Amino acid sequence: MRIQVIGVDHRTAPLAALATLSDGEGLSRVLMARQADVAGAVLLSTCNRFELICDTDDSLEPGRLRERVCELARELAPDVDERALSGLRADVGDAAVQHVFEVAAGMRAAVIGDKQVAGQLRRAYELASERGQCTGRLHRLCHDALTS
């Protein structure tokens, strides 16, 4: 198993394009239901970012997960702006973990150091946990990132 983050933010897509992804709350549940090699997922969706933090089988290639997220976004939000999808990046393993820590610390915020992002990540983590979407690895990652 490994951590993968598929995400787009204010640096890689216009805010108007990101807004077309903001209604993606069901995406993580649908992804887990249809993609057996995704064991858990936390979706952080705000006006400045759309980050899907996943615990996946080692065999799931980042490019394939990114493609699947794009397909589901188009299916669940037919009016999605393609600029948001083209800005999606894939981080895997240590790079994905580092990315989550940087997001939690506000290092990837529009205003560096913004603490609001940590609160948004906490709510996303709590929601995923309530829905049974968190693996032990995701619990540890989110807890450690939020308490560092």
- Tell me whether residue 70 is one of the annotated catalytic residues: no
Hey, is 137 helix, strand or coil? helix
* Bridge partners (DSSP) listed for residue 6: 52, 90
Axis crossing angle, helix 27-34 with helix 62-76, rounded to the nearest 10: 120
List of residues 6+ apart from 2 with CB closer than 8 A: 55, 56, 58, 92, 93, 96
Return the active site residues. Answer: 47
